[in-house]
Structure 1
Amino acid sequence: MTSSTHTPAVSRPRVLITGGGAGIGAAAAQRCRDDGYEPIIIDRVVEHIPGAIQADLSDIQDTARALNEALRGGPITRLINNVGVVVPNDAASQTLAEFDLAMSLNLRCALQCMQALLPGMQAAGFGRIVNMSSRAALGKDLRTAYAASKAGLIGMTRVWALELGQYGITANAIGPGPIRTALFDKANPPDAPRTQKIIQSVPVKRVGTPEDVAHTVSYMLDERSGFVTGQVLYVCGGMTVGVASV
């Protein structure tokens, strides 16, 4: 009589990704799968993503509901705060409603997600937080609300690095430059003179891809990156050289 042994499935480390339904977030989610993680995606449109959680992350109560749902499966020790909105407008015309939306979705949501996951990270003595900022945090026309929210995200990243390092938790930010997503192509047709001007302003003479950013996310999520925290890495093809401080 022969006997068979059953090897239980090994659960994969989970990563919470806000705004993981498209663009940079979707590329980050795929890279997480490739790296052996299980991405837990929260986004506004998720019908095309099995197991994702639908939520309006600009709403505090709906965000709380989605986070509770995500954490039902247990603690999550990796977080990518990626969701965001641009709301472009000149300084004189930027509305307070646009400003409030940018602050809620780009900034408040990140804080709320971190606070929800923090107890599990502290209990594990390990955590990785990646905040998706922007090169626009350094200043960009038509971006009053957006730049302010993304600069605020960098400020929070630095504070979290100081406060959470003692628990084995790192917090870092990524500042993408022009990245070719569906939204970018819609606003910047490939053959348009304005698009060509953007490309020529990039030292590597191309716009980035979501996968370029996802590769950086992968490094920051890795457990071997524990001595890097409170940093901002601009994935911008060199556009910030001469602009960002050394």
Structure 2
Amino acid sequence: MTDYTAVITGGSKGIGLDLAERMLDKGYTVISIARGKSPDAPGELIQMSADLLDAEAVAETARDIAAGHEVTHFVQNAGVIWPNLLEEATPADITGLAQLQLGSALTLLQAFLPAMKARSFGRVLFNGSRAALGVPTRTAYSAAKAGMIGMARTWALELAPHGITVNVVAPGPVLTDNFWGIVPKGSERETQLAKSLPVGRLGTVRDVSNAFLYFADPENSFVTGQTLFVCGGASVGTLSL
């Protein structure tokens, strides 16, 4: 089997777009699911619009993709942070991010799973976060990302007999729009944060897509249920954003 089809949520920008471009270069068919379409994306990228917070929209998109494609790679990459202190956090924050990060992944993979099982091959990847270990102002976000790790480990056990691996890439501070939504771009805070990391710099989208490509490689069939922190050493000690 040499034909691969990857579905990437949030593939219209940042980490998702970089990964999409690199998979396209490898000859994959790549489908992005995002709220909006990117005018900067390669023409070969199939862009589908859907709000992953809307469970019905996700289900409809999942059916449409499964009807026209045999998906071999599924990357749950899309995410938002919604930061706030404990006193301002709400149950709706948790419910919303659980749907975005976990519920939509469940619906999409359920649609793609029959094709993966029929081929006895699949790669399921999650964009997690170092925040799963705890970061101030991340009640809902940390909960969703920690839940992602548990869900991935469970799926890894269930799907291993079918040749399907499930792994998590957990970035630390990476220069993306989500990061700059918390830390002003080019600010002194950004500079100091970079200095505080063991490697002395902030991450790039390429650092993260490198890790995704490792797990996505068809030859890597003996690694499943794992979480790889791509964080410049931040997960070794403590870090506050």
Normalising by structure 2, we get a TM-score of 0.92
- Alpha-carbon separation, structure 2, partners of 1:28 and 1:137: 22
Shift of 1:185: 3.0
Q: Is the 8 A contact 1:133 1:150 kept in 2?
A: yes
After TM superposition, the structure 1 = structure 2 runs for residues 11-160 of structure 1, keeping only pairs within 5 Å, are 12-48=3-39, 49=41, 50=43, 51-160=46-155
Unaligned runs of 5+ in 1: 1-9
Shift of 1:164: 0.5
Structure 1's consecutive aligned runs of 4 or more residues displaced over 6 angstroms after TM superposition are none
Matched, 1:169 2:164: yes
CA RMSD across the alignment: 1.7
Three-state SS of the structure 2 residue aligned to 1:45 is coil
1:194 to 185, 189, 212: 189
Structure 1 counterpart of 2:201? 206
The code of the aligned residue for 1:128 comes to R
Q: Is the 8 A contact 1:128 1:170 kept in 2?
A: yes
The code of the aligned residue for 1:168 comes to G
Q: Is the 8 A contact 1:102 1:145 kept in 2?
A: yes
Three-state SS of the structure 1 residue aligned to 2:143 is helix
Shift of 1:218: 0.7
Matched, 1:235 2:230: yes
Shift of 1:47: 4.9
Q: Is the 8 A contact 1:76 1:120 kept in 2?
A: yes
Q: Is the 8 A contact 1:85 1:106 kept in 2?
A: no
Q: Which has the larger radius of gyration?
A: 1
Q: Is the 8 A contact 2:94 2:143 kept in 1?
A: no
Shift of 1:74: 2.6
User: Identity over the aligned pairs, expressed in percent?
Assistant: 42
Shift of 1:69: 1.8
The code of the aligned residue for 1:73 comes to G
Write out per-residue CA displacement over residues 190-235 of structure 1, whole angstroms, 9 at most, x where no aligned residue.
Answer: 4423212211221111111111111111111111110000000001
- Alpha-carbon separation, structure 1, partners of 2:162 and 2:4: 18
Three-state SS of the structure 2 residue aligned to 1:170 is strand
Structure 2 counterpart of 1:6? none
Three-state SS of the structure 2 residue aligned to 1:92 is helix
Three-state SS of the structure 1 residue aligned to 2:157 is helix
The code of the aligned residue for 1:156 comes to M
Of stretches 182-191 and 204-213 in structure 1, the one that deviates more from structure 2 is 182-191
Shift of 1:33: 1.1
Q: Is the 8 A contact 1:80 1:132 kept in 2?
A: yes
Q: Is the 8 A contact 2:11 2:17 kept in 1?
A: yes
Three-state SS of the structure 1 residue aligned to 2:126 is strand
Shift of 1:147: 0.2
Structure 2 counterpart of 1:223? 218
Structure 2 counterpart of 1:4? none
- Alpha-carbon separation, structure 2, partners of 1:11 and 1:60: 33
- Alpha-carbon separation, structure 1, partners of 2:2 and 2:72: 13
The code of the aligned residue for 2:204 comes to T
- Alpha-carbon separation, structure 1, partners of 2:192 and 2:144: 26
Of stretches 148-157 and 107-116 in structure 1, the one that deviates more from structure 2 is 107-116
Unaligned runs of 5+ in 2: none
Cα distance, 1:237–1:47 mapped onto 2, change above 3 Å = closer
